[in-house]
Amino acid sequence: MQGTLRTTSNVTYNVHEIQGLNGLVVREYVSISGNVFGVAWQGRTHPDLHQVLGAYYDQYVQAVQALRAQRHGHGPLLIQQPGLVVQMGGHMGSLTGIAYLPQGVPAGMRPQEIR
């Protein structure tokens, strides 16, 4: 992503906030050991999920395909698997999402803090 980077530090994790040229804001939640355990975004569009989810992208695609086979229509997306949680919603021009690895969330942090 091209944009400006701002980093904030916490005792157990850091947040890398990237403000893209198109108004998209992506926040990476990174453990002190350097592992990304969560990502959140907001903007007019969703980010390149292949880039954002990395090695978990294929798992995400399979979960979306399974979800689409079960339901029809549109609405918020919620994938809750033991190794990956993804939530996306909003409306045209104002989209939000989060993705995190439940096993990677540092002790003392609640997943709701990923936003």
Q: How high is the mean pLDDT in each 10-residue block of the chain (115 residues)?
A: 86 94 93 96 94 96 90 82 95 93 95 94
- The pLDDT of residue 84 is 97
Lookup: tokens for 56: 């978990």
43: containing domain: 3-113
- The pLDDT of residue 87 is 97
- The pLDDT of residue 70 is 83
Q: Which amino acid is at 111?
A: P
Q: State the total domains in the chain.
A: 1
- The pLDDT of residue 1 is 60
Q: What dihedral angle (degrees, nearest 10) is formed by the CA atoms of 112, 38, 59, 79?
A: 10
Rounded Cα distance, 20 and 80, in Å: 28
Instruction: Match 């549109």 to its residue by tokens.
Output: 74
Neighbours of 26 (CB within 10 A): 22
Its pTM stands at 0.90
